[in-house]
């Protein structure tokens, strides 16, 4: 089985799964919203992580009316929050090793997949 981040899906497969045109995926890449992997022959390969990110982009643009510039900001903020959550978790784990109590708590909750 492939890992969540391993690029294995061709652009045509992703387009079919998500019911979008392959050009949409190329446009998202051009705008820096996604970064698919590449084969040695320069073919785009998408991971499950990429597919989930594209689903989030589609949810934000289609269902919530966010423009692509807004999507870019939201995705960058989410990535930064993920980084900060990991740092926080690491600090709490370190503190718990020194007999402190650690409670895992996320700094945000994404609801963009709710509904469909």
Exposure string for 41-77, b = 16+ CB within 10 A, e = fewer: eeebbbbeebbebbebbbbbbeeeebeeeebeebbee
Query: Quick check: 114 pLDDT over 80?
Result: no
CA distance 22 to 16: 9
Q: Tokens 């981040």 appear where?
A: 5
pLDDT, tens digit, 9 for 90 and up, residues 85-102: 999 998 888 877 765 554
């Amino acid at each position: 089985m492939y890992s969540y981040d391993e690029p294995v899906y061709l652009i045509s497969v992703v387009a079919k799964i998500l019911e979008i045109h392959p050009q949409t995926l190329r446009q998202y890449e051009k705008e820096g919203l996604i970064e698919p992997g590449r084969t040695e022959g320069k073919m785009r390969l998408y991971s499950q992580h990429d597919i989930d990110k594209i689903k989030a982009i589609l949810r934000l643009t289609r269902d919530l009316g966010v423009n692509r510039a807004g999507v870019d900001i939201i995705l960058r903020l989410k990535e930064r929050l993920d980084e900060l959550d990991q740092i926080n978790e690491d600090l709490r784990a370190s503190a718990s090793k020194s007999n402190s109590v650690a409670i895992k708590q996320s700094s945000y909750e994404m609801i963009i997949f709710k509904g469909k």
